[in-house]
Amino acid sequence: MSLKGKAWKFGDSISTDHIAPGRYFHLRTNLPELAKHVLEDADEDFAAGMEPGDFVVAGRNFGLGSSREHAPRIIKLAGTSAVLAQSFARIFFRNAINVGLPVLEVDTSGIEPGDQLEVDLQAGEVRNITQGETLTFAPLPPVMVKILGDGGLVEHFKKYGDFNL
Amino acid sequence: MASTLAEKIIAEHVGREVEPGEIVVTGVDVTALQDGTGPLALQQLEELDMVRAVNPGKTILFMDHAAPSPRKELSNAHQVLRSFARATGAVASDINEGVCHQRLVESYASPGDILIGADSHTCTSGALAAFATGMGSTDVAIGIATGKTWIKVPETLRVVVSGGFARGVYAKDLMLHLIGEIGADGATYMALEFTGPAVERMTMSERFTLANMAVEAGGKTGLFASDDTTRAYLEEQGRGEAYRRLGPDQDADYALTMEIDLEGLEPTVSAPHTVDNTMNVAAAAGKQVQQVFIGTCTNGRIEDLRIAASILRGRKRHPHTRLIVTPASRSVYLQAAEEGLLKDFVEAGAIVTGTGCGACVGVHGGVLGDGEVCVATQNRNFHGRMGNVKGFIYLASPATAAATAIAGEIVDPREGYLESQG
C-alpha cells in the first residue's frame, strides 16, 4: 500500500489534549464534528487546511496522555494517511492500530512542512519527493500488522470472531 | 525463571512463564469505561453484535467526567451507559459515586488481577498489586464482551525508594520529581515497580498517588507488592477476602533500577505545559495564582483532604485566588463531612464540589480564563487541559496547593503554613 500527501509538521510531546481537546468532550459522540477540531490546539490551521492523504509528522512521544481513542479516530477521519513521529506514547500507538491508522516510527527531523511524501508500508520506506531522500522505518510488530491489515480490531473480530493473532 | 511482579501476574493468567516483549492473549478480571470513552466502546459492541458483558459484576461504567452532566450531549451519553448496564447486568457507577480510579481501588481491584480501563490513569490500581492499565475504547469493549485482551509483556523499571519524607514533602512531590528525572517518555512501554524501605512504610493513599502517575512517565502500570498495609486497606473497604500476598521474585530481571533517597527531596511542582517540566517549589515561588484545585484521582483522597484542611483551617484564601475542592468519591466526601473538613474548606473560602473529574479534564466546573494560572493537585498540566488553551497549570501536592490558595501566589508550604491556626 502506497500513501501520498504533504507533510504537516508538529513538535515534540503532542498530547491527546492537543489532538482532541477536553473542551469538546461533548462532541465525542459526534466524531465528524469533533474531527473539525482535530489537532486544533497544536496547529489551528490543520483541520481546515489539510487535504485527504496528507501526513501528520511529529517529534517525540506523539499522543501522550489520555486513552481517548477519539484522538487517532479523528486524525484518520480527517483523511490523514499516516502519522510519522520519532516516537509514540503507548496507548495512542495501540489505539491507532486498533482503528486502522498507520503510525510509523521514523526519523522525522529532516522533513519540512509541506514536503511531498510517499510512504510504502510494505517496504518500510518514506520517500521525501521534495527533498529527494528516502527514510526507512522498522516494521510494526506482527500482531499489529495483522490488526492493521484487517482494518482495525473491530474488523479483525468481524473476520475471526475472536483474537486470531 | 524469576519474575517481576508484572511478569508474575501475566504468567498466572496465561498459565505459563512469560518474557518481556512477547505478546500474549490473556483473560481480564475487571473492565472499566467512563463517560468519555464508554459510548464509543459500546458502539463498537453494537457493530460487532456483541452487546454483552461476560463478567458483569466486574464490568463498571463510570459517570464521572461530566458529573452531574453540564450538557444534553453528555446526559445522552450517560443514558447509553445506564442502558447497557441494565441490559447486561454490568455496574453503572452513577454521577454521585466518584472518580473511576478511586472507586476501582475501593471496591473492585484486587491483588493479582488484570484490570483494563478506558482511561489512562487506570494504572492507579497497580498500587494494589493488580496489573492495571489504560487502553482505548475498542480494546476495553472487546475485554468486556470476551473477557480477553492482548498484552505485550512489559519490561520493568524498578524504583527503589529509601529514607523518609521531610515535613511538608509528600508522595506527590516524589512522583513529580521522578517524572522530571526520567522524562514523560522515560518509561514508555514499561511497568514501574515501586519498592524499598520507604515504600514499605507508605500508606495506600501515598501508593495510589505514585501508581496514578506512572502513565505520566509513559508507563503501562505502576505496581506495588501487596503487604499488611494492602491487607488493612482492603479490610477497611470490607474486602478483606480479596487480599493475597503477591510480590516479585527476589532475583527478578529488571530492565533498569533507579534509586531515590527521600532525604533532601523538596516540595516539587510541574510547570506548564508538560508534567516532566519539574522544579523545586522555590523556583516557581511568587507566581500569582488565580485558581487552586484540590481533588482528582491523584490527590482527592481523605488523607489529601486532611493535609489541605489542616493548612486551611482558621485561615482564608487570598481574595484573588479561587479555591475548588473536589472529594474523589462519595465515601471520601462522607468521611470529610464527618471529620468537619468540608466546614474548614468552606470557612476558608473554598467551593466544595460534588465528586468527579470535570475540572481536571476541562469539561466543566473549573475552566480557566485567558491567561489564568492554576495550581492543581491533578496529574496533567498539558496545554488546554483545564478547558482553555490560554491557561497555565502547575501541578503540586495538596499542601503546596492549600498554602498557595492562602498566599495568592505559589509558596513553599513549609514557610509557616504547616503550623495549625485552628
Distance CA B367, CA B373 (A): 11
Closest by CA to B165, choosing from B278, B258, B266, B259, is B266
Residue A49 lies in a domain: yes
With a CB-CB cutoff of 8 Å, which residues 161-200 of chain B face chain A? 184-185, 188-189
Of the partner residues B25, B40, B380, the one whose CB lies closest to the CB of residue A28: B40
CATH assignment, B268-407: 3.30.499.10
Residue A149 lies in a domain: yes
Strand order in the sheet with B221-224: B221-224, B191-195, B156-162, B256-261
Say how many domains are in chain A.
Answer: 1
DSSP string for residues in chain A: -EEEEEEEE--S--BHHHHS-GGGGGGGG-HHHHHTTTTTTT-TTHHHH--TT-EEEE-SSBTBS---THHHHHHHHTT--EEEES-B-HHHHHHHHHTT--EEE---TTPPTT-EEEEETTTTEEEETTTTEEEE-PPPPHHHHHHHHHTSHHHHHHHHSS---
Q: Do B73 and A30 touch (CB under 8 A)?
A: yes
What's the average model confidence in pLDDT over A134-160?
93
What's the average model confidence in pLDDT over A139-164?
93
Interface residue B34 vs chain A (CB under 8 A) = no
Do you know the residue count of chain A? 165
Predicted pLDDT at A1: 63
What's the average model confidence in pLDDT over B138-156?
98
Q: What residues of B are in contact with residue A61 (Cβ under 8 Å)? A: 184-185, 188, 218
The CA–CA distances, whole Å, from B15 to A103, A162, B18, B177, B225 equal 32, 19, 9, 38, 20
- Domain spanning B5-260, CATH architecture: 2-Layer Sandwich (3.30)
- For residue A111, is pLDDT > 80? yes
DSSP string for residues in B271-294: -TT-TT-EEEHHHHTT-B-SEEEE
Mean pLDDT of chain B: 97
Residue of B nearest to A142 (CA): B23
Predicted pLDDT at B98: 98
Q: Can you give the residue ranges of every domain in chain B?
A: 5-260, 268-407
Predicted pLDDT at B1: 81
Half-sphere exposure of residue B35: CA atoms within 13 angstroms, side-chain side: 33
Interface residue B42 vs chain A (CB under 8 A) = no
Distance CA B129, CA B114 (A): 10
What's the average model confidence in pLDDT over B119-133?
98
Predicted pLDDT at B422: 65
Q: In which domain, by residue range, is A29 found?
A: 2-160
The CA–CA distances, whole Å, from B294 to B228, B371, B405, B406 equal 29, 20, 10, 13
- For residue A139, is pLDDT > 90? no
Of the partner residues B25, B188, B380, the one whose CB lies closest to the CB of residue A89: B188
Residue A105 lies in a domain: yes
Residue of B nearest to A91 (CA): B135
Same fold, B5-260 and B268-407: yes
Distance CA A137, CA A140 (A): 9
- Which pLDDT tens digit goes with each residue over A4-49? 999 999 999 999 999 999 999 999 999 999 999 999 999 999 999 9
Mean pLDDT of chain A: 95
DSSP category for residue B98: B
Predicted pLDDT at B322: 98
CATH number of the structural domain spanning residue A41: 3.20.19.10
Contact B121, B211 (CB under 8 A): no
- For residue A2, is pLDDT > 90? no
Distance CA B77, CA B34 (A): 10
Q: Do A69 and B50 touch (CB under 8 A)?
A: no
Q: Give the pLDDT band (50/70/90) at residue B350.
A: very high
What's the average model confidence in pLDDT over B215-227?
97
Nearest C-alpha of chain B: how many angstroms from A55?
22
| Burial bucket for residue A124 (CB in 10 Å: 0-12, 13-18, 19+) | middle
Lowest mean pLDDT among A100-109, A138-147, B190-199: A138-147
Distance CA A135, CA A128 (A): 8
Interface residue B137 vs chain A (CB under 8 A) = yes
| Burial bucket for residue B341 (CB in 10 Å: 0-12, 13-18, 19+) | buried
Higher pLDDT, B106 or A165: B106
Angle between helices B137-146 and A90-98 (to 10 degrees): 70
Closest by CA to A86, choosing from A51, A69, A110, is A110
In whole angstroms, how large is the CA radius of gyration of chain B? 20
What's the average model confidence in pLDDT over B227-252?
98
- Which pLDDT tens digit goes with each residue over A41-77? 999 999 999 999 999 999 999 999 999 999 999 999 9
- For residue B419, is pLDDT > 90? no
Predicted pLDDT at B253: 96
* Count of C-beta atoms within a 10 Å radius of residue B151: 23
* % of chain B surpassing 90 pLDDT: 99
Residue A165 lies in a domain: no
Q: What residues of A are in contact with residue B383 (Cβ under 8 Å)? A: 15, 17-18, 41
